[in-house]
Amino acid sequence: MGLFSKLLKGPEVDMEKSSANAAKMRTLFDQVVEDGERYRLIFGYTEDVSRFNFGFVHGSRTKIGNLIVGWDEDSRTIVVVPTVPDLSGCGEPTYYRRDQILKAYRNKYPTEAFIIYPDRKGYIGINAYDWLEDESLYVYVAQKEELAAFTDFFLNRFATK
């Protein structure tokens, strides 16, 4: 394949690595979330982790926090579990139940993010993409279909109007 066609197609996704990381995400999530198997998962991240109230794993020097984000359609609940790029461990889950949050919306600027305000004191911004190349900062996982499903859930069943 020539350079031009590679540029048009974009970087190749390593599905074996992606699947292995998705399985690790599932294992970590299920270890700390009761009835974890009810939730569908995506990988997300949040910037400036010092602003948020959940514990950050392994004292990373970066300002980016990796997140395993689970959602359950029936209970209209999002669960966020902080982790690290190699998925070697995770922190405690934070639950966001639709009927217990102040507001939630999709932000477009400065970055696309899912914003949740549990109360007037703070918020979490969940950024999520299909996958990101810098494995020193992000979990490598292809999640196009899952991300589309999460976006639909967030906008149509979770976001406040």
CA 68 centroid distance within chain = 5
7 pLDDT more than 50: no
Q: What is the pLDDT of residues 142-159, one digit of tens each?
A: 999 999 999 999 999 999
Q: What is the pLDDT of residues 95-138, one digit of tens each?
A: 999 999 999 999 887 678 999 999 888 888 899 988 888 888 88
Phi-psi region of 10 (alpha: psi -120 to 50; beta: other; left: phi over 0): left
In sequence order, which residues have a C-beta less than 8 Å from that of residue 116 and are 6 or more positions away?
Answer: 78, 96, 101, 103, 104, 123, 124, 126
The reply to whether 49 falls in a domain is yes
The reply to whether 6 falls in a domain is no
The reply to whether 7 falls in a domain is no
The reply to whether 84 falls in a domain is yes
Q: Residue 52's domain spans which residues?
A: 14-158
| Tokens standing for residue 150 | 């999460």
The reply to whether 148 falls in a domain is yes
Phi-psi region of 59 (alpha: psi -120 to 50; beta: other; left: phi over 0): left
pTM above 0.95, yes or no: no
| pLDDT the model gives residue 121 | 85
Q: Any idea what the CATH number is for the domain that residue 66 is in? A: 2.30.29
Q: What is the pLDDT of residues 24-77, one digit of tens each?
A: 999 999 999 999 999 999 999 987 655 544 444 444 455 678 899 999 999 999
How many domains, in total, are found in the chain? 1
The reply to whether 2 falls in a domain is no
The reply to whether 44 falls in a domain is yes
The reply to whether 1 falls in a domain is no
| pLDDT the model gives residue 62 | 52
